[in-house]
Structure 1
């Protein structure tokens, strides 16, 4: 089944008895998590959110490592609320992999089947098969300290999959890898998840990991869901500042009257959409053009007088933070920033064409 087919199925079909149906209510001191999750077999769901939002707490609740204060947890129609962690059909890949240092890669993977009553010889035969699938057949005798970060991640994934779980939990599975290794392992993980026939739930702070690996995103802030949808929908229609920053957009909330949006704070934005009522309006930093003097003869419908509040390198460009009547983030080439003689405190004019904005109901 393709990534697109899985996404369409998730959006149009009602939840069935198969797959995950959970409402996770966890109370820890003053923090309260209340998150609903549903997914069909074959779906990959990514939990996104800032530090302290409750992503890892939700994952640990699914694994049975944190008790529920309320709600429910059903997997393939079976109630798991009171099922001990070791008895759940759940596989977990932790951020630091937690491989047994004294065991070889082969015996690390065989550990799961052995715990489920499989004989030693058969468990090792199954483990060898999983290592071959992961491209690690030549490292079966290696202990974790002899493995690279990418190899250790694949051994941990093989160990989780070797028990044939109905729910696979991945806690920041690529966070410990360097940028080059992450690129390769992300592609490999995408391939393995595409073949996984049960539910996978991924916790990550990296939007690229989420966009590449997941069919469906659930964004959590302060213990509650603030947005859910396909990666494309969330990237195009962010509904909080955190999500807008995550996908790299300027985002404002306001009241629309036709093509004019009166933004909270008093400024206005002209858009190509004709709407009425509460809306969000968004546009990328790359859509902004900066001028030292008020431009004349420009086709842009939006003009704002701003002051440079900061500059930082952003990939191969310069990200300019702007204060004033409308706080903005603009991306410029290094040459453009130098020609404008940009520095903290410099006054500039920012312009954006109406066709480069996107307004949608709040």
Structure 2
């Protein structure tokens, strides 16, 4: 065994790269308490209903809202007391907040100028970033002359031009129409894949989160209720909000073999063999509706329900059902017409055990 002499120099521990934060913010009756960690290259999406605390968390990371507790470390450096302008953080706001009197070039050059670059140096950096964003032909355009997608890319270039170690994106696609959103989402995914530091994205759109993020953190009432990879979150929702977000019917109960007795409602038969507290989920497309009680059906799950409402859902009709088991069912417009579905109509709902998915609660 080797013994270190007292005067032997000890190598310092390598700095911890990435984000390590516990964001505690008290605002009247609301308390945010969210832990976030991410390595360089990670894209983390904060999801949650309105008022959950997503934007408060983002603003706390940017230094625009002071912490009342917890900590905030970026690449091993504590930032709790660092003013916003001194943090290595880039922000893309929902409405982009481009300076209306400046050209696209000077909007992007603004950050490097604030960090001490000369006008010529800052403009050279800005021109390079606009070229990367496919906007070389729009360097002289003022924001009012840019499309929504172009303005979004200018805002992203402005945030990246200062080489941030943390990139914050607040609903970056919310201001775009559906067609532009599809194109810009693909472009943003490419740029985030090339970004070598940490990116945190706030969104209420599950598709944006699933496409852009490596990991999802779901916040409700100021707390993290679930986190994990997009596929795991989609397959194993743990709250009603998440289930609705990913389009699943979700129930909680106690399993005994193939049978799950729900906390409120009937039993559901599943193919999994489990014991103890579980969740059971199945998509609305797994539900088959009948006006009369089916005979000879292979479905192991059968419930008498009533149509509470109907709405268009993509190219299908989504029926909200109440009764023995509240649930959502998807069917074609032809099937809805043949069943003569309308609010108040009595129906029988069936789901095959093989189309359910049970997992520990």
The answer to whether TM tops 0.5 is: yes
Shift of the alpha carbon at 1:304?
Answer: 0.3
Partner of 1:235: 234
Measure the CA separation in 1 of the matches of 2:235 and 2:263.
Answer: 21
Measure the CA separation in 1 of the matches of 2:357 and 2:297.
Answer: 20
Measure the CA separation in 1 of the matches of 2:277 and 2:114.
Answer: 55
Measure the CA separation in 1 of the matches of 2:67 and 2:338.
Answer: 58
Measure the CA separation in 2 of the matches of 1:219 and 1:265.
Answer: 25
SS in 2 for 1:177: coil
Shift of the alpha carbon at 1:266?
Answer: 3.1
After TM superposition, the structure 1 = structure 2 runs for residues 1-362 of structure 1, keeping only pairs within 5 Å, are 17-362=16-361
SS in 1 for 2:289: strand
Q: What do the CA deviations read for 1:244-296 (whole angstroms, capped 9, x no partner)?
A: 00000000000000000001113110001000000000000000000011111
Measure the CA separation in 1 of the matches of 2:63 and 2:107.
Answer: 22
Measure the CA separation in 2 of the matches of 1:189 and 1:41.
Answer: 17
CA-based RMSD: 0.5
Measure the CA separation in 2 of the matches of 1:152 and 1:214.
Answer: 22
Q: What do the CA deviations read for 1:188-235 (whole angstroms, capped 9, x no partner)?
A: 000000000000000000000000000000000000000000000000
Measure the CA separation in 2 of the matches of 1:274 and 1:251.
Answer: 18
Partner of 1:4: none
Q: What do the CA deviations read for 1:288-329 (whole angstroms, capped 9, x no partner)?
A: 000011111111110000000000000000000000011010
Shift of the alpha carbon at 1:90?
Answer: 0.1
Measure the CA separation in 2 of the matches of 1:228 and 1:257.
Answer: 27
Partner of 1:8: none
Which consecutive aligned stretches of 4+ in structure 1 deviate over 6 angstroms post-superposition?
Answer: none
Measure the CA separation in 1 of the matches of 2:270 and 2:252.
Answer: 13
TM score, norm. by length of structure 1: 0.95
Larger Rg: 2
Q: What do the CA deviations read for 1:53-108 (whole angstroms, capped 9, x no partner)?
A: 00000000000000000000000000000000000000000000000000000000
